[in-house]
Structure 1
Amino acid sequence: MSNQELIHAYRHLLRWSLRAVQFSKPSRFVVRDTLRAAFRDENGTFEPSRIKSTLWFLESAATYVGVEHKIIKNMAYVRHMQQKNIGPWRIKAQTLAKSQQRALKDPVHEKEYEHFDKTIAMLNDTMNLCLR
């Protein structure tokens, strides 16, 4: 794996991801941040076959408004909601109403994205993709 291959893969994935979400405001920032985190991950591996199949998936999502587009759109929405919850819990607790404060302390909310992550992992394994 050369540095140039890595850069080209990043640029192609970013370009087709932005086209897939149609450059919509919250989604394009979510896609950009997710892709940056994936390429900066030290434990990540570079597999050209997975990159190629992911590009095909993103091209299909950008070209046709079908199942692929809905998957990408929903993934961006869930990641956006997940990123909105990041922050010190004390600040969130002070700004929320009392009923919402109880929901913050609920242990169910600690694992609320676990099922979603497992579903995406199974989709990646089945279709040989590298979505996050």
Structure 2
Amino acid sequence: MPPTHPPPTELLHAYRHLLQHALRACRYAKPARFALRDRLRNAFRSSSSSSSSSSEVYNPDRIQRTLDFLASAAESKGLEYRVVKNLAHVWWEREKLGRMPMRADIHEFRRHAHDEFDRTIGRLNESMGLCIK
């Protein structure tokens, strides 16, 4: 049975809630808020255009757990806050590196520099039932 798509209003509400909670979690810090906003935009744009894989299917339970994670990151400067802050920092630096011209000798290194980081986020999503992308 193919995955059912949620109504557009439900997707819009999910996007707005995730953005609002992410901004609160990073405490509106300047580079972090732009990195989180851009990642969230790309995630919703790519999943709405081609949601064939099971990891990109809309799942309200995963979204609620992610909202709870971001809410606890916003409440105190504990582990969740540090995770969100570091994720935003790496995503910001990664985007900045992608805009820079590459020398031929470091091209292969740069292509695989964040593979382990991506696998770690995937394992975090699996173990906690989150939808951080």
Deviations along 1:95-132, whole A, 9 cap, x unmatched? xxxxxx47634x33221100000000000000000002
Matched, 1:62 2:74: yes
* Alignment of 1:45 onto 2:57: yes
Say what the alpha-carbon RMSD is for the aligned residues: 1.5
Distance between the aligned counterparts of 1:58 and 1:50, measured in 2?
Answer: 12
Kept in 2, the 8 Å contact 1:20–1:58? The answer is yes
Question: Does the aligned pair in 2 maintain the 1:17–1:31 contact within 8 Å?
Answer: yes
TM superposition outliers: structure 1 runs of 4+ over 6 Å: none
Tell me whether 76-85 or 38-47 shows the greater mean CA deviation: 38-47
User: Counterpart in 1 of 2:114?
Assistant: 113
Query: What corresponds to 1:71 in structure 2?
Result: 83
CA contact (8 A) 1:103 1:109 kept: no
TM superposition shift of 1:6: 0.6
Aligned ranges for residues 19-30 of structure 1 at < 5 Å? 19-30=24-35
Distance 1:130 1:103 in 2: 35
Cα distance per residue 1:30-80 (max 9 Å; x no partner): 010000000001223110000000000000000111000000000000000
Identity score, percent: 40
Structure 2 unmatched ranges of 5 or more: 1-5
TM-score, L = length of structure 2:
0.85
Number of equivalences = 121
Q: Match of 1:119, as an amino acid? A: T
TM-score in terms of structure 1 length: 0.86
Output the CA distance in 1 between the equivalents of 2:72 and 2:105: 39
8 Å CA contact 1:26–1:80 kept in 2: the answer is: yes
Q: Quick one: distance in 2 between partners of 1:103 and 1:77?
A: 26
Q: Of 7, 12, 35, which residue of structure 2 is paired with 1:7? A: 12
